[in-house]
Amino acid sequence: MDHGAKQPGDGTGNLVGTIVDEVAFDVERGKIAEFARATGAHDAVHTDRREAERRHLPDVAATATHVVVAGHHRSAQSMLETLGLDLPRVMVGGTSWDYVRPLVAGDSLTGRRVVTGDVTKTSSSGSPLRILTLETEYRDRDGQVAVRQQETILERGRR
């Protein structure tokens, strides 16, 4: 999963290809139940193993945003330093997930977050706006991609 990634500080001024961080975590039945409650996901596939098996899954299915649990295993401060971001000027631009297959209790995932876009534009107010795009591929024990997550981070420039 190298993607030709580079380390920060390579002198190019553009961070595309930089590895932001790597993370590993297990998809746990209890955490799935917490996410289901928190997101109002009432489908029994998230809480009842028999229902999951009826739908040809080996265990209860994770909810659609489950990989955000990776945030508990990452350092936000380290990410800010790697990307050269000033927190008071940072906004979340968006997050999307592309599931290659359902996540289920018992999965073990590893993910590498890599910068895939780093551009600066002029905002409608005339100040610079940096737009960073990050992609994480979460891979299972077999090294197969299970989920791709894309994040957009915006940093407002100084006027």
Place of tokens 């990050």: 134
pLDDT in tens, 59-118: 999 998 899 889 888 988 999 999 999 999 999 999 999 999 999 999 999 999 999 999
Pairing mode of beta strands 108-122, 128-139: antiparallel
Please give the torsion angle defined by the CA atoms of residues 87, 91, 92 and 94, in that order, rounded to the nearest 10 degrees. Answer: -150
The pTM (predicted TM-score) of the whole model is 0.84
The region that residue 49 occupies, defined by phi over 0 for left and psi between -120 and 50 for alpha, beta otherwise, is alpha
Percent of the chain surpassing pLDDT 70:
91
Does the pLDDT of residue 55 top 70, yes or no? yes
Rounded CA separation 51/10 (Å) = 51
Q: Which residues of 48-68 are buried (b: 16+ CB within 10 A; e: fewer)?
A: ebeebeeeebebbbbbeebbe
